[in-house]
Structure 1
């Protein structure tokens, strides 16, 4: 990442703290004792890395197109697990987790120039270090023309959708994922495009809009 202003760093830290708080809330909704549960977040990262590779394409014996939108969504899923792993590492201390991640965000991006090599590095680091490889992640994010602000906007939207799913029966299987012929992710993308991510009630606006569209509410 290039040199950034002091004010930009402050904004980034605030957004990191907000994302860590949202992730903690979601994880507690699923399991109030999630920090002590011993979940293998690193395993989730490397498995999502495999899905990421599928959307990019790796089969040399057939023609494949890069599905950039799905790649972005897979990166956001990986970010969820990276935030969780960092919170566990810092024993739930949001400020320490934000400081650690901010320091790595300001570091150098990966030296790998090949997208697939960076995906391999992401998975390898997850298995060996049980954490998110920030340089590889940032490079992959840049490869799909996404910035930190894009990461924040899409992450918050997906986090709200995950919370919405839990509130409407995702865990017991009663949640309806497709409405009016479109999956909930598509509704989310449409809603998020109309809301300013810098507004204080960004999350609440998305949740309310999802609820207004969801069948039976």
Structure 2
């Protein structure tokens, strides 16, 4: 999960959740059995949060790196995006106290060991097409600068590589297209349609309908790919 260290986090007391992440109920957690038989403790979970947040009200980028090190996950690992989705985190590189307590309570994790026991479960959620779609859609608002309606192209390419790089055969070619394109960013409609395109259009583009309701970005990609293949 790319970390933006220079982003200024809005005051958590005044912070309005402008991008409410989901409108559906998250699936019941089915992770590994807890390390101990002790019930989940909100007090212990809060103390765990303050190990990283200190006197602040938020786990910021530097503390996030320590958190990732403790649970044994690289910050750029897609598991961190899945975790952020569970916490409904609004800003990349930050977990607020409210997000931490709400998300970790749902996960029933009040310490490092319990979260580690859920990592396989978090990864397995990516295999559920419905859950993956919602994580993918969440990533747009999570990663964008909140004063911008679009996702800047560098961030978009990084997030697409994280989400589709290993599963979409055409991703390397699409990435090349974005590299040479005139686009400086990607709006929400384009972002959503890239996933739909990756799921429904054949690798040879044989079933692509030029008269379909695809964004111009994808029309141009198809034209570019066909011209590139012909040459």
TM-score, length-scaled by structure 1: 0.29
TM normalised by structure 2 equals: 0.28
